[in-house]
Amino acid sequence: MLKSSKSQYHIVIVGCGRLGSLLANRLSAQGHSVITIDNNPHAFSNLSTEFSGFRIEGDATEFSTLEKAKMAQSEIVIASTSDDNVNLMVAQVAKKICNVSHVVARVFDPKKEATFQEMGIDTICPTSIAGQVLLDTIAESLTKQAGEKK
């Protein structure tokens, strides 16, 4: 849950796939004003019937689409498409042109994660997270096995 002195945020989510729709549904349920953008009209079927936000079918790489979403008035932008380059472009526009205070982008390629971060964009890299969890799990299992053999 987003906690702050402010009770409602204007949030733009680019990409309404599994991750984008999950976030949109949860943030909408918390009472935030959520706008989702996706170029695939079928993606919006991932939104729950309780979703009270707005859907914009369009290309997020076109500034007019971001203007429709009132990105410049948003406090939070989440770039969650399956394309790292689209996420980077959207995040840069949100941060540099629209002056959005909180911008987060999903990035699949761990090699690109540093580039995003150098531009001041917070990132979530599922590949890095899953890799670390798997390595931690293996290390824990091996430590446990070594302890059982003593």
Global pTM value: 0.88
Domain 10-125 has CATH 3.30.200.20: no
- Provide the pLDDT for residue 119: 85
**Confidence at 134, pLDDT banded by 50, 70, 90:** very high
Domain boundaries, the chain: 10-125
Say which residue the tokens 């090699």 belong to.
111
**Confidence at 2, pLDDT banded by 50, 70, 90:** low
Instruction: Note whether 108 and 126 are within 8 A (CB).
Output: yes
**Confidence at 120, pLDDT banded by 50, 70, 90:** confident
Backbone φ, ψ for residue 17 (5° rounding): -80, -150
Structure tokens at 145: 């096995």
- Provide the pLDDT for residue 3: 58
Q: Strand (E) positions, the chain?
A: 10-14, 33-38, 54-57, 76-79, 102-106, 122-124
Q: Cα–chain-centroid distance for residue 63?
A: 19
